[in-house]
Amino acid sequence: MPRSEHFIHDIWVVLQQLGDTHLPTLLMGVAAFAIMWGLRKYVPKLPGVLVAVVLTTLVSWAIGFEGMGGKVVGAIPAGLRASRCPASTGASPSSSWRVR
């Protein structure tokens, strides 16, 4: 939804769309926040965000989240992309930089 000039109006529009909420996605998000909060409170040395991402990813795979209408990234290509140097314009850096 596009933003309006009034914050209260934006909140009202969001509240009107609550019925369209995808409940499995909401539950995954709430679970991720709960994991991060619990780890910060009880095991602060663990990387909470990383643990939450790993756990919710595993749960997503185990329950077939994509089949429930959830959005999943899909296949991630293996390997690194080939690196290249940018093409030269022929101008030297000193000719395009001027001190005023």
Tens digit of each residue's pLDDT (9 = 90 or more) over 27-67:
999 999 999 999 999 999 999 999 999 999 899 888 888 77
What pLDDT shows up at residue 89? 62
Q: What is the pTM of this model?
A: 0.59
Q: Which residue stretches of 43-92 are H helix?
A: 48-63
Q: Which residue stretches of the chain are H helix?
A: 7-16, 23-42, 48-63, 93-96
What pLDDT shows up at residue 64? 85
What pLDDT shows up at residue 37? 97
What pLDDT shows up at residue 90? 59
What pLDDT shows up at residue 78? 77
